[in-house]
Structure 1
């Protein structure tokens, strides 16, 4: 989506008494100048669905006029003090443009977006600069008037808010130093993560209840991964780096958890969703596989001495993988635009809203699925004994998949058994990582064979591709040896008595 621009913001917000003077930050860290305020008036209309699906997911959508960045803004929290803001041109219409709605499809599930609040801000910005005059941060003194549009309650509010936003080149630790000075000047934490959430606090509670039963523990993990999948969906739509990978991982974790902890959810609904998540993973797979293989082979070429490089190797990689990459991304984008994917999202959302089945709800109920996942991992490893060649490689790939499922199971129950499973989980992760590298060599060798055959057909010298193939075979043997050592460590490592296999 070419009209979308993206910016990472590092900022903190504070409340300040309406009568208090603006804090002086000169002398804090490298700040040597606090310029006189520049006044701007900002008018923003916030949009959401009738049941506030964006707000519940932590997403903010607004149409803002005034200031230097007028337009449609989508804000996505990334971590504490950090968010990503996507910006699109303002346009003349006040209804949400189709391209904006498409970005948020995974969150809205195509429910209509309507105005939910209007906010007018009289903003006074102070540039904070170092001794050389370089901008370090901007301190904004916001005098806000807001009103809720629609909803079940009428709400009008006025308040004052401070916001300090770091420049992209400023050191992150400056935010902590400015924080200390602001607090000494009377600034206090804001309770709400955004101006919109303050206005609609009656509609959308700010805190989620703590998971207490085993069912709630499982559902909390599922909600977390569903949120990750939807945010990665947004990244794929704006072609953000690594988004396809993140989306594929979230889909895999959801599918694994639904299968491992099937007694904690509606089994029939979970089975249907898991099947669709497998389909989604297959649609995303080619784009990610091409990305990984291309990066690995380029790195491999960098390690080859110049005298052993024959033929236009990098051109071959660029040509072959560019075509495959575009095909893979087109397939992923087509899947995300389709009705089948929308139905998957709707089914997952409905599953999370469904009351869990009745049954045991104590800590012990969570042990059985983890123990079962661990036993499947051990059976998969036992099945590798005596195998060689392609059969061994396929069997080790199965061990890797079972290790992932066991680790995901441990992650799910971390709120309950986190300390007791820490060592075991670490050892399972080591096994999974080593076998992941091993599988990469398998994929690499397939790609290298394809490249060598194509090059030979064009009368090119393909010696170097053969050299890399041989190196990958040697690396695979070393990784199998490392796996054997890590498996012994896993078998002999610390774990709860109930996890003994």
Structure 2
């Protein structure tokens, strides 16, 4: 991606002469001419354009899928129809709607090279004469315009900028040729700007970005998918009365299914990273046998299985139906004022208090289960606060901060529970293979001690939460 320091884009009258940028040791060569014909594809309601995604077919270079973080290229092929591979990648955005041509551009490009005395390229000036047809409206829209695209080093770029402006060039108003041609046709037509719909839309967008990331092999995409699904589910459960309980319940049930399909793949990643980090902290003289290789082998097998499971889920009709249901729900949400938002948040706070009270007098496995329940209630309370935070003041932010501290501490506590179960599994399997399992027992003991320490920290953080600042209506 080109930075602001290396390139700038301008507009210039179609009748103006090509700006001469030569001088002071710079020579401007005669232009190299090239014609580019590009067809842009989108759904009928411009779902890709609204998401900042551009799909185009160029007669010379093939298919290009420009995403916010990268650009993917595909061979041209014989058919003008978007390839099935691309349609699959974009499924979370198109929701299986047909991809069709929405615009076509013809660009007559004249590229001037600016060189020094030795012939070394100092800058390039692309003079684009563009003819565009917008095909996505009730009638075909034609337009013609001219763009200048300059690439150079920062110092020369500033000098060229001054010269171009003297020749009548102005900063380009539109970020891309397609958006100029389309105008406001693809503008998002959203309803209320109040906080809850905005939060839900943001999480849905996060889920779609992660879906696309998973399909192109981006790291951490399973984690991002899972987090977005969890936040959507939590907010819909908390604010179901404002969203429409029947619709909210149906979507949350499917989000729960999706989370269950994604969880094992993510859990395997996290467990492996944590156990390997713990192993790094053990003195070499206390590490017996090929433990790291043992962990790598076991988790690699698990990861392959669980990633296949996640892939199958994301390729299913059930998942596609879930995406359509979320989009439909967001399109029909009713506005809700601050007063209406308070009751659901207060309810989550009460549930958190009751879950904490239920831990009193427990020990061992029963305490671990109860603390895990507190963690889940704290997470829901935190997500609820995140959803409505823009509507309330600093006191809610302070309460949310304390809730987050409780959730994170209990998250680490739950990690120790999961790790101990895994270590016990490895110790049993290792023993059956005649491995020395002393180190697994050592790590088990350390996790057990860490769990007790985290229980004490939770007690302190809970007292801070109970005494901390919060809005008066949130006191329970």
TM-score (norm 1): 0.83
Q: Is the 8 A contact 2:11 2:171 kept in 1?
A: no
In structure 1, the residue matched to 2:12 is 17
Alignment of 1:194-213 (within 5 A): 194-205=176-187, 211=193
Answering whether residue 226 of structure 2 is matched by residue 248 of structure 1, we say yes
Answer whether contact 1:54 1:108 (CA < 8 A) is retained: yes
Partner of 2:424: 449
Structure-2 residue corresponding to 1:292 = 270
| Matches of 2:472 and 2:104, distance apart in 1 | 58
Q: Does residue 86 of the first structure (1) align with residue 53 of the second (2)?
A: no
Cα deviations by residue, 1:218-259 (Å, 9 ceiling, x for unpaired): 222111111111111111111210111101111111111111
Name the counterpart of 2:338. 363
Instruction: Say if 1:475 and 1:323 are closer, same or farther in 2 by CA, change over 3 A.
Output: same
Match of 2:49 in 1: 55
Partner of residue 103, structure 1: 89
Partner of 1:372: 347
Quote the Cα distance in structure 1 between the aligned partners of 2:20 and 2:195. Answer: 44
Q: Find the structure with the greater CA-based Rg.
A: 2
CA displacement, residues 57-105 of structure 1 (integer Å, 9 cap, x when unaligned)? 2222112244xxx23222222xxxxx32222233232211111100011
Residue ranges of structure 1 left out of the alignment (5+ in a row): 1-7, 78-82
Contact 1:192 1:206 in 2 (8 A): no
2 CA distance for matches of 1:260 and 1:480? 27
Matching of residue 391 in structure 1 with residue 373 in structure 2: no
Query: Structure 1 pair 40/356, CA: closer, same or farther in 2 (3 Å)?
Result: same
User: Any unmatched runs of 5+ in structure 2?
Assistant: none
User: Is 1:475 equivalent to 2:450 in the alignment?
Assistant: yes
Match of 1:463 in 2: 438
Residue 227 (structure 1) aligned with residue 213 (structure 2) = no
SS in 2 for 1:460: coil
Shift of 1:196: 2.0
Note closer, same or farther for the CA distance 1:447–1:495 as it changes in structure 2 (3 Å cut): same
Report the alpha carbon displacement of residue 56 of structure 1 after superposing the two structures with TM.
2.5
Q: Quote the residue 1:80 is aligned against.
A: none
What is the DSSP-based 3-state SS (H/G/I as helix, E as strand, rest coil) of the residue aligned with 1:495?
coil
Matching residue within 55, 68, 76 for 2:67: 76
Q: Secondary structure at the residue paired with 2:297? A: helix
**Contact preservation (8 Å) 2:11, 2:172:** no
Rounded to whole Å, the distance in 2 between the matches of 1:281 and 1:134 is: 56
Taking the aligned partners of 1:135 and 1:432, their CA distance within structure 2 comes to 57
- Aligned to 1:74, what secondary structure does the other structure show? strand
Residues 91-490 of structure 1 aligned to structure 2 (within 5 Å): 91-123=77-109, 142-161=128-147, 182=161, 186=165, 190-205=172-187, 211=193, 216-356=194-334, 361-417=336-392, 419-490=394-465
* TM-score of the pair, normalised by structure 2: 0.87
SS in 1 for 2:183: coil
Counterpart secondary structure, 1:282: helix
